[in-house]
């Protein structure tokens, strides 16, 4: 279950939130309740990095990622080669591997259970190291 403000054609027009974390959380919580009423209990939550959000919104969501554990579902993040990474670093998407790995590591440390990635080997290395540190 991924959050997106607007639709693919309009989502990046002018994303606006009073509080991106609580608004994304509340929207996901409402949809999750609807799914549970339908008898669907196996749900993965994705805050939707880059989908109707500015770079600042994406960083705020990552900073407070642990808040989404309140939903009681596995948490997936998709930061691989996103504009948040390459625009912040001033590189191309293809050159964003180091930045992607840093954000994946931060996401894992904040409780992400699943990474949606382009570079599987590098993501697995990050996961392995985080698991060693976290025990």
116 catalytically annotated = yes
Tell me how far CA of residue 33 lies from CA of 23, 24, 38, 71, 77, in angstroms.
Answer: 15, 14, 9, 10, 21
pLDDT at 11 over 60: no
Model confidence pLDDT, tens digit, residues 16-45 = 899 999 999 999 999 999 999 999 999 999
Task: State the catalytic residue, choosing from 53, 81, 82, 110.
Answer: 82
82 catalytically annotated = yes
Task: State the catalytic residue, choosing from 30, 81, 110, 116.
Answer: 116
pTM (two decimals): 0.91
And the tokens for 47?
Answer: 């805050």
Q: Where are the domains of the chain?
A: 20-134
CATH architecture, domain defined by 20-134: Alpha-Beta Barrel (3.20)
Model confidence pLDDT, tens digit, residues 48-81 = 998 989 999 999 999 999 999 999 999 999 999 9
Residues constituting the chain: 135
Q: How far apart are CA 52 and CA 58, in angstroms?
A: 10
User: Of 135, 104, 108, which Cα lies nearest the Cα of 120?
Assistant: 104
């Amino acid at each position: 279950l991924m959050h997106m403000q607007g639709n693919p054609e309009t989502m990046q027009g002018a994303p606006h939130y009073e509080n991106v974390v609580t608004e994304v959380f509340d929207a996901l919580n409402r949809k999750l309740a609807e799914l549970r009423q339908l008898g669907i209990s196996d749900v993965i939550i994705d805050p939707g990095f880059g989908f109707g959000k500015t770079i600042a919104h994406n960083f705020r969501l990552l900073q407070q990622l642990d808040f989404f554990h309140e939903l009681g579902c596995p948490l997936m993040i998709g930061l691989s080669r996103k504009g948040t990474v390459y625009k912040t670093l001033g590189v191309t998407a293809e050159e964003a591997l180091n930045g992607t790995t840093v954000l994946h590591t931060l996401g894992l440390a904040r409780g992400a259970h699943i990474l949606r990635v382009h570079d599987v080997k590098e993501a697995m290395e990050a996961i392995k190291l985080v698991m060693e540190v976290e025990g």
